[in-house]
Amino acid sequence: MEEFEYFSPTDLPQLLQLLASPGGRILAGGTDLIPRLRSNTLNVSALIDISHIDELRFIREDAERVYIGSRSSYADVLESTVLSQYAPVLVQASRLVGSPMARARGTIGGNIGNASPAGDSLPPLLVLDADAALVGPRGGRVLLLEELLTGPMKTALAPDEIIHHLSFPKPPAVRGFGFEKLGPRQGMTISIATAAAAIEINSNNKISAARIALGAVAPTPIRCKAAEELLIGREPEEGAWKLAVEAALKKIAPIDDVRATADYRRKATGVLLERALASASEMAKRSI
């Protein structure tokens, strides 16, 4: 490992001061960053450890929205009654994250900052219409999560910015969610493909709202808006899911890698999305 300086700020003003000097890299849980540092694939002159900044670790709600501090871990997500009510899709994805260690140390902010196309929290956050509040020495700004994720391991964060928190509008109680993940094995695994879905069904048994997001099959996790629109006004049944799958598969660009071939990813995505839509629809029906 290359040598680097290490800073451990305990509040936001200290952190912003450190971010004003170039060359620093944020360290949260370290579950992505430390392996990359060990393999010397990153050039870092200073690590800024945010794990003692308690004001970045919270999950709360107001009348309209839910807020997740970037330092919240998957374990925090699993314990949150606010998220079990308003974001069961994120809770489900967090439960499937690799290992008890990764769930305890890994953070939502780190999953976004790492910007892997296979990051498991990202499709759920996309179907929740999440945006990210960023902060840096020059002030703050808000970006849609889709705008923040720009490519494999790339974000629109400026070098002196951090993700402060994520937020999303509270979904109506009648919205159902589904999440499906395929990995090479059950535990300790990075996804081969993921699918997240959200569905609302009206009293005429027709789909009135839909959200679809896919992971690990394009340079970033993606929303599939054409597929969502196709579902509106249709009955929630297999024929509708097949149409949505056909439209969604046109948007993906999977690659061959050590975990799977592009062809396998494409086939798996169809199955995962159909299952996610069916689960979301069942949940929506139970809430009517």
What residues line the site for ligand FAD (CB under 6 A)? 25-33, 70, 97-99, 102, 105-107, 109-111, 113-114, 119-120, 157, 162-163, 188-190
Looking at beta carbons only, is 150 or 208 nearer to ligand FAD? 150
Looking at beta carbons only, is 110 or 236 nearer to ligand FAD? 110
Minimum CB–partner distance for residue 269 and ligand FAD (Å): 17
Minimum CB–partner distance for residue 106 and ligand FAD (Å): 3
Inter-axis angle of helices 262-287 and 238-249, nearest 10: 140
Minimum CB–partner distance for residue 28 and ligand FAD (Å): 3
Q: In the chain, which ranges are E strands?
A: 5-7, 24-27, 46-49, 59-61, 65-69, 131-136, 139-144, 149-151, 154-155, 162-169, 176-182, 193-201, 207-215, 222-223
Looking at beta carbons only, is 236 or 254 nearer to ligand FAD? 254
What φ, ψ does residue 130 adopt, rounded to 5°? -75, 145
Look up residue 196 and give its two tokens. Answer: 């997240």
Looking up tokens 């840096």, which residue turns up? Answer: 136
Minimum CB–partner distance for residue 229 and ligand FAD (Å): 28
**Residues ≥6 apart with Cβ < 8 Å to 286:** 176
Looking at beta carbons only, is 158 or 226 nearer to ligand FAD? 158
Looking at beta carbons only, is 14 or 208 nearer to ligand FAD? 14
| Pairwise CA distance, residues 263 & 269, whole Å | 10
Minimum CB–partner distance for residue 109 and ligand FAD (Å): 3
